[in-house]
Chains A and B, each alone.
Chain A
Amino acid sequence: MFSMNDKASARQVTILLILDLFGTAALTLPRRAAEFASEDAWMVVIGGVVLALIYGFLITSVATLFPQDSFVEFSGKIVTKPIGMALSLLLMAKLMAGVALEVRVFGEILKQTLLPKTPIEVIIISMLLITAYLIRKGYECRARIAEILVVIVFLPLIFVFLLALFNADFTNLLPMFKTPAPKILEGAYYLGFTFGGLEVMLLATMFLVKPKRAPRVTTTAIIVVGFFNVAVTLITLATFGSMETNKQIWPTMQMMQSVNFPGLFIERQDVLMMSFWILSVFAIVNAGLFFISFIATRMLKSSEHYYLVLPFVPILYFISLIPDNIAQTYEWLDFMNRYFGIIFLFPVPLILLMIAKMRKLGDTVE
Chain B
Amino acid sequence: MKFIKKREKKISKEEFAPHPEDALHDENNKVTGALSTDLDENIERLDILFKDCNDLVKRKFPMGTQQRTNMYIAYIDLMVDRKTIEMSVLDQLILGIRDVPPSAPELKQSLYESMRDGGLATADIKEVDTMDEVTLAILSGDTVLFMDGYAKVIIIATKGWPNRGIQAPETEVVVQGPKEAFSESLRMNTVLIRRRIRDTKLKVKQLQIGTRSRTDIALVYMEDIVRPSILEELEKRLHSIEIDAILESGYIQQLIEDDWNSPFPQIQTTERPDKTASSILEGRIAIVVDNTPFVLIAPAVFASFFQAAEDYYQRWHVMSFVRLIRYVAGFFAAALPGLYIALTTFHPAMIPTPLALAMAGAREAVPFPAVIEVVIMELAFELLREAGIRLPAPIGSTIGIVGGLIIGQAAVEAGIVSPIIVIIVAVTAISSFAIPAISMTNGFRIMKYIIILCSAFLGLYGFWLGVLVLLIHLVSLKSFNIPYMYPYVSCNLNGYNDLKDSIIRVPTFLINKRPLFARADQRIRMKSSPKKK
Contacts and interface: CB of A to CB of B under 8 A. Distances in A.
B471 A147 contact: no
A279 B485 contact: no
Interface in B447-471: 458-465, 468-469, 471
A237 B528 CA distance: 53
B471 A3 contact: no
Contact of B471 (A143, A148, A268, A271): A148
Q: How large is the interface on B (under 10, 10 to 19, 20 to 34, 35 or more residues)?
A: 20 to 34
A322 interface: no
Contacts of B492: 9, 11
B481 interface: yes
A2 B233 CA distance: 14
B483 interface: yes
A131 to B, nearest CB: 9
A137 interface: yes
A248 interface: no
Interface string B341-369: 00000110111110000000000000000
B486 to A, nearest CB: 9
Contacts of A266: 350-352
Q: How large is the interface on A (under 10, 10 to 19, 20 to 34, 35 or more residues)?
A: 35 or more
B464 A279 contact: yes
A12 B461 contact: no
Given A2-B483, A133-B469, A141-B476, A12 B490 contact: yes
A143 B470 CA distance: 16
A315 interface: no
A300 interface: no
B303 interface: no
A122 interface: yes
A271 B468 contact: no
A268 B461 contact: no
A271 B350 contact: yes
A271 B458 contact: no
Determine chain B's interface SS by DSSP, over half rule: helix
Nearest to A116: B346
Contacts of A271: 347, 349-350, 460
B488 interface: yes
B489 A122 contact: no
A144 B352 contact: no
B90 interface: no
A147 B488 contact: yes
B411 interface: no
Given A114-B347, A115-B346, A130-B469, A123 B461 contact: yes
Interface in A117-147: 118, 122-123, 126-127, 130, 133-134, 137-138, 141, 143-145, 147
A114 B476 contact: no
Contacts of B481: 1-3
A114 B460 contact: yes
A114 B471 contact: no
Determine chain A's interface SS by DSSP, over half rule: helix
Nearest to B484: A144
B489 A148 contact: yes
A282 interface: yes
A267 B469 contact: no
B472 A268 contact: no
Contacts of A268: 349-350
A17 interface: no
B234 to A, nearest CB: 15
A130 B485 contact: no
A43 B166 CA distance: 73
B335 to A, nearest CB: 12
B468 A114 contact: no
Nearest to B464: A278
A137 B476 contact: yes
Contacts of A127: 465
Contacts of A114: 346-347, 459-461
A123 B346 CA distance: 15
B475 interface: yes
A278 B459 CA distance: 12
A61 to B, nearest CB: 26
B323 interface: no
A275 interface: yes
A144 B490 contact: yes
A126 B462 CA distance: 9
Contacts of B490: 9, 11-12, 144, 147
Contact of B488 (A118, A133, A137, A148): A148
A327 interface: no
A275 B475 contact: no
Nearest to A272: B350
Given A9-B492, A278-B461, A130 B468 contact: yes
23 contacts: A2-B483, A12-B490, A114-B461, A115-B458, A115-B459, A123-B461, A130-B465, A133-B469, A137-B476, A144-B475, A144-B490, A145-B489, A147-B491, A148-B471, A149-B471, A267-B351, A268-B349, A271-B350, A274-B460, A278-B464, A279-B468, A282-B464, A282-B468
Interface of B: 346-347, 349-353, 458-465, 468-469, 471-472, 475-476, 478, 481-483, 485, 488-493
Given A130-B465, A275-B461, A275-B464, 18 more contacts: A1-B481, A3-B481, A114-B346, A114-B459, A126-B458, A126-B462, A130-B469, A141-B472, A144-B483, A145-B471, A145-B472, A148-B488, A267-B351, A267-B352, A267-B353, A268-B349, A278-B461, A282-B468
Interface of A: 1-3, 9, 11-12, 110, 114-115, 118, 122-123, 126-127, 130, 133-134, 137-138, 141, 143-145, 147-149, 264-268, 271-272, 274-275, 278-279, 282
In the A-B complex, the 8 residue pairs with the smallest Cβ-Cβ separation, listed nearest first, are A144-B489, A144-B475, A137-B476, A147-B489, A278-B464, A2-B481, A145-B475, A141-B476
